[in-house]
Amino acid sequence: MNKKQILYYKNILGAVSSRASCNRAIVGAILVRNRSIISTGYNGSPRGLQHCDDIGHLISNNHCVRTIHAEVNAILCAARNGININGCELYSSYKPCFQCMKIIINSGIKRVFYFNDYKDDFQKEFEKNKYCKFIKIKCVE
């Protein structure tokens, strides 16, 4: 993958993540097949419900649990529209949390490229698996 292509995805992730509605995590995700973007997602409340930015966070164990994470929303957007995501790639602003990792692995996504680190206690349990690789993209300008 060349620098130009990476920068292209990075810029699009910036635009997608600007719609995130929980300011504790400004995250965007896009699904890509053969260099074409087939779905996008950002972290926000389930459809039709109020957002953290309007009514405040919903905190449990120091995490805001009101939102669906960007990666999962990208998968769900594809599902809602009947788009096959088996074998595609995911680009995300941040390394997925362990909950998203589990979902990503079973969705058929084969590679995840992320730009920023995010750490939780359980990623290591799922990160190394047979079906999906999680790859950090070195900073590009």
CB of 107 to Zn ion, least distance (A): 13
Q: Which is nearer to Zn ion, 8 or 103 (CB)?
A: 103
If residue 103 lies in a helix (H) or strand (E), which one and from where to where?
helix 98-107
On the CB side of 25, CA atoms within 13 Å amount to 29
If one asks whether residue 57 binds Zn ion (CB under 5 A), the answer comes out as yes
**Burial label, 23 (beta-carbon count in 10 A; 0-12, 13-18, 19+):** exposed
DSSP 12-75: HHHHHHTT-S-TT---EEEEEETTEEEEEEE-BPPTTSPPHHHH---EETTEE-SSBPHHHHHH
Q: Can you tell me which of 13, 22, 29, 68 binds Zn ion, judged by CB under 5 A?
A: 22
If one asks whether residue 137 binds Zn ion (CB under 5 A), the answer comes out as no
If one asks whether residue 97 binds Zn ion (CB under 5 A), the answer comes out as yes
Determine whether 125 is an active site residue. Answer: no
71, 125, 127, 141: the active-site residue: 71
If one asks whether residue 52 binds Zn ion (CB under 5 A), the answer comes out as yes
If one asks whether residue 95 binds Zn ion (CB under 5 A), the answer comes out as no
CB of 88 to Zn ion, least distance (A): 18
If one asks whether residue 26 binds Zn ion (CB under 5 A), the answer comes out as no
CB of 34 to Zn ion, least distance (A): 26
